């Protein structure tokens, strides 16, 4: 599924440039993606688009602290939680966007969610909202998936 999401991100500059789901499914199939993965990706992306398009910006500026329940922490893992906090502190994600990223990660059938997959979720969220991270943040999102590499602060 994530290969399809990356393909969409790289192929269609804006989400409104994507064809309708039926035509998109045919195009993805013609490129060589598996029908089951295409279906999963389109459902996941449709749910993301519905969540991201909602009128939730009233909560965009929050000074609260986000506490993760045990289930969230188990599914996300330490690296993902740390990365989400980093993105929020860097003002790449608003509190609303953070919640969408967490929800989309929790629906995956994976525990803990790999940092590479979390980065794709963030990119797809920003893409679905027509936003693009600045160049340095883009490098971090598309950079190495090595979860063991320490983050250097300069």
% of the chain surpassing 70 pLDDT: 79
**C-alpha 57 chain-centroid distance:** 18
77-99 confidence digits (pLDDT tens): 999 999 999 999 888 899 999 99
Residues 57-66 have a mean pLDDT of 63
Q: How confident is the model at residue 139 (pLDDT cuts 50, 70, 90)?
A: low
Written as six digits, the tokens of 29 are 């199939």
Q: How confident is the model at residue 62 (pLDDT cuts 50, 70, 90)?
A: low
Helix/strand/coil for 71: helix
Q: Is the pLDDT of residue 132 over 90?
A: no
For residues 43 and 49, give the distance between their C-alpha atoms in angstroms, rounded to a whole number.
10
Model-level pTM? 0.80
Element of type H or E holding 83: helix 70-89
Residue 71 neighbours by CB under 8 Å, 6+ apart: 106
Please say whether the beta carbons of 100 and 48 come within 8 A: yes
Q: Looking at residues 133-147, what average pLDDT do you find?
A: 57
């Amino acid at each position: 599924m994530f290969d399809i999401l990356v393909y969409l991100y790289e192929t269609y500059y804006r989400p409104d440039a994507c064809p309708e789901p039926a035509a998109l499914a045919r195009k993805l199939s013609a490129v060589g993606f598996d029908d089951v993965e295409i279906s999963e990706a389109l459902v996941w992306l449709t749910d993301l688009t519905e969540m991201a398009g909602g009128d939730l910006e009233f909560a965009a500026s929050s000074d609260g602290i986000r506490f993760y329940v045990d289930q969230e922490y188990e599914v996300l893992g330490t690296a993902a939680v740390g990365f989400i906090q980093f993105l929020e502190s860097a003002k790449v994600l608003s509190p609303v966007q953070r919640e969408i990223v967490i929800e989309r990660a929790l629906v995956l059938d994976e525990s803990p969610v790999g940092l590479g997959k979390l980065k794709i979720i963030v990119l797809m969220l920003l893409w679905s909202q027509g936003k693009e991270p600045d160049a340095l943040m883009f490098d971090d999102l598309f950079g190495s998936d090595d979860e063991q590499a320490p983050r250097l602060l300069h």
